[in-house]
């Protein structure tokens, strides 16, 4: 229906992974705004997961979508990565890349970019193979539930990663705060939550379908983390927006927080 804004369960039927990837992750062949945002995220993730930074045994990515770019630096810092998403179609898209199936999305430009940050662009195929080995499980998640991973048995983890997900999944600020609390609950004491938010998000396009967003501010993100028992260790804001034809937002905010002992 023209003008309809999708949300909630619509992600299972109306969210086309390939349309999303072509719009926001075409990298150097894509639009300037989308490329700048992706590089902002890749640079921050590289710094976060570099030697001496955030690392450990297990990282879980919540709201993975159909993407793997967010795991390219993390796979050097963790023994095991678990990915999770609300949409089975998104998980299937990720699985195709992990298994190197025909028709899998080509992430090589992003992989080469991260390898260049690490010092050797030529090692991109080794990087892909490492990530494909490190991802061990693909789970269904719902951040609007008190147990976001449902009945899946997952030990307390060293890091929860969630990028550009909660502001799409949560209907209001109270739901966002509850989701942050649930994700912090997945962490070991002293574990890290790494998140990035498209601030003031109103809506975004996936092919012909418009999806709603939750307009968050920097202060709202920080307060939610602090109320959940986390200390903000690092934050970076950049006033970069998506192309207006695709998405209405104002700025991006990347945050690294650590769970306190009593949380």
CATH code assigned at 74: 3.40.50.150
pLDDT at 115: 98
Q: Are 155 and 58 in contact (CB under 8 A)?
A: yes
pLDDT at 261: 86
pLDDT at 155: 96
In angstroms, the CA 126 to CA 115 distance is 10
Model pTM?
Answer: 0.96
Residue whose entry in the numeric block shows the structure tokens 């490329």 = 35
Strand partners, 138: 83
The token duo for 190 is 């002293």
- What is the β-pairing status of strands 209-212 and 230-238? unpaired
User: Could you report the average pLDDT of every consecutive run of 10 residues in the chain (263 residues)?
Assistant: 81 96 87 94 98 97 98 98 98 98 96 97 96 98 96 97 98 98 98 98 96 97 98 97 95 97 77
90 is in an annotated binding site: yes
What's the structural domain count of the chain? 1
95 is in an annotated binding site: no
Range of the domain at 113: 5-259
143 is in an annotated binding site: yes
25 is in an annotated binding site: yes
pLDDT at 1: 34
């Amino acid at each position: 229906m023209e003008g309809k804004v999708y949300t909630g369960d619509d992600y299972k039927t109306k969210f086309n992974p390939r349309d999303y990837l072509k719009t926001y992750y075409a990298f150097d062949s894509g639009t300037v705004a989308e490329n700048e945002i992706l590089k902002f995220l890749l640079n921050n993730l590289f710094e976060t997961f570099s030697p001496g930074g955030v690392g450990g045994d297990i990282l879980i990515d919540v709201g993975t979508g159909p993407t793997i770019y967010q795991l390219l630096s993390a796979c050097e810092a963790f023994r095991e990565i678990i990915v999770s998403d609300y949409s089975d179609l998104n998980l299937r898209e990720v699985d195709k890349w992990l298994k190197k199936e025909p028709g899998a999305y080509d992430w090589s430009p992003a992989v080469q970019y991260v390898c260049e940050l690490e010092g050797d662009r030529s090692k991109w195929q080794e990087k892909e193979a490492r990530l494909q080995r490190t991802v061990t499980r693909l789970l269904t998640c719902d951040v609007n539930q008190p147990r976001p991973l449902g009945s899946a048995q997952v030990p307390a983890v060293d890091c929860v990663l969630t990028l550009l997900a909660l502001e799409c999944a949560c209907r209001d600020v109270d739901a966002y705060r509850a989701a942050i609390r649930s994700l912090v609950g997945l962490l070991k004491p002293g574990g890290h939550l790494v998140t990035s938010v498209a601030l003031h998000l109103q809506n975004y396009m996936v092919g012909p379908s418009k999806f709603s967003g939750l307009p968050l501010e920097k202060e709202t993100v920080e307060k939610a983390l602090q109320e959940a028992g986390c200390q903000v260790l690092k934050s970076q804001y950049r006033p970069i927006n998506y192309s207006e034809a695709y998405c209405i937002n104002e700025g991006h905010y990347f945050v690294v927080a650590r769970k306190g002992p009593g949380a």
